[in-house]
Structure formats: structure tokens, C-alpha cells
Chains A and B, each alone.
Chain A
Amino acid sequence: AAGVIQSPRHLIKEKRETATLKCYPIPRHDTVYWYQQGPGQDPQFLISFYEKMQSDKGSIPDRFSAQQFSDYHSELNMSSLELGDSALYFCASSLRQGAYGYTFGSGTRLTVV
């Protein structure tokens, strides 16, 4: 069965650089979510999109932005990267805004040096 695809799997950036993470949801899933997981922490919700419109926003820094495109894939853009942005970034997708559960991608491990 198709899963949630995230790219890249690993990314190393320098401070103040920009990074773009991509997420391709399971076919026919209409909702995409982004989570950030710091070392030793639980995943923290960043932002979600339902039918290409932002549906909810969590603790996402102003330096971060995201969107969902017409083909339902989503991109998380992070600018002016800081050392504290080093984390695992997960994308998840679902039907009907999570009413029947999420499926997560394998994550992107971002390291800011």
C-alpha cells in the first residue's frame, strides 16, 4: 500500500540558510499535518491543511511557512535557520481531518550547523 512520502530523508544546513521539506500524502487523503520532534521529545504539531487550505496552526515559528498544492502535496519552508531548528520533521496525512487516524511519513532529519 502507498504510504506518506517525505523528502529529503536527511538535510544538513548552516545557520541562517533556508530549507524546504516536501510531503506527498497517501492518494485520496485530503489532510496533511506537519510535526516537529526535538531530541528526546514528543512530536509537536506545527500546522495542517485540509483541501489545500490551512486548517490549524500550532507552535510554528514565523520563520516557517507551509502550503498544500493542487496535487495535495505539501511543502514546509524554513528560513533563517537556527541551531534549535535541528529536529525530526514529520508529515502525516489522513482522510477527513484525522477522523479515522493519521499515517506518518518516515520523517526528515534536519541538522543545522
Chain B
Amino acid sequence: GIQVEQSPPDLILQEGANSTLRCNFSDSVNNLQWFHQNPWGQLINLFYIPSGTKQNGRLSATTVATERYSLLYISSSQTTDSGVYFCAQYSGTYKYIFGTGTRLKVLA
């Protein structure tokens, strides 16, 4: 079945630093999403990005479908960026399979 791996598993940053999170997937990607789970548990859509590059403020994402990976860039990190970042790949049976997440803590 589909396997989605994320790295690093944990990341601690000083406020203002930049970071890159990686998502590797085992199968050809049709659709891929990035989510942020905040400390209150809410899952927030960041990007729907089956291929190419998208940007939203300080966040951007790139998916290279042919090489089966996606990257999430966070620039000028803020304490509110803390939480868990998940990527999820769309499976052939109409559901998204989540990666194990990257736990990010941004220190003031």
C-alpha cells in the first residue's frame, strides 16, 4: 500500500529562522495535501499541490511528482507556526493517507 514518510520527525527553530520539511511517497501522486495541526488539535489545510509550486505568505510548497517527493518551506518562522505538519497522499481508493508528521517548535 501507499507509504508516506516525512522528515525530520522533530524540529526546533529560533523565531525568524527558515526551514524545509520533506515528504516522500511510495506511489505515483495524483493529489497531495499539506496540513498544519496546531497545538489545539485543529487540522488546517495549507496546500493542495499534486505538482508544481505554490506560495501563501511565508509558506510555500513544491511537489516533484516524477521523483515522488514534496517540500514545504517555512520562512521567517513565528511561534504560531508551532505544531505538527502532515503531508497526505491521495490513494486509489478515494482517501488520503497521512505521513507520520514533523513536529515543529518555534522558540521566541
B41–A42 contact, CB under 8 A?
no
Tell me which of A31, A90, A103, A107 contacts B94 (CB under 8 A): A31
Q: How many residues of B sit at the interface, in one of the four size bands?
A: 20 to 34
B48–A55 contact, CB under 8 A?
no
Residues of the B chain whose Cβ atoms lie less than 8 Å from the Cβ of A104 = 35, 42-45
> B33 in the interface, Cβ–Cβ < 8 Å?
yes
> B86 in the interface, Cβ–Cβ < 8 Å?
yes
A109 to B96 Cα, complex, angstroms: 21
* Given A101-B33, A102-B33, A104-B35; A43-B43 close (CB under 8 Å): yes
B42–A106 contact, CB under 8 A?
yes
Interface string of B70-108 (1 = CB under 8 A from A): 000000000000000010101001111111110000000
B95–A45 contact, CB under 8 A?
yes
Tell me which of A48, A106, A107, A109 contacts B95 (CB under 8 A): A48
Report which B residues bind A (CB closer than 8 A).
Answer: 31, 33, 35, 41-45, 48, 86, 88, 90, 93-101
Nearest 6 pairs of A and B residues by beta carbon: A101-B48, A97-B94, A104-B43, A42-B98, A45-B95, A56-B93
- Beyond the given A101-B31, A102-B96, A103-B45, please list 10 additional residue pairs across the A-B interface where CB-CB is below 8 A: A31-B94, A43-B43, A97-B94, A98-B90, A98-B94, A101-B33, A102-B88, A104-B35, A107-B43, A109-B41
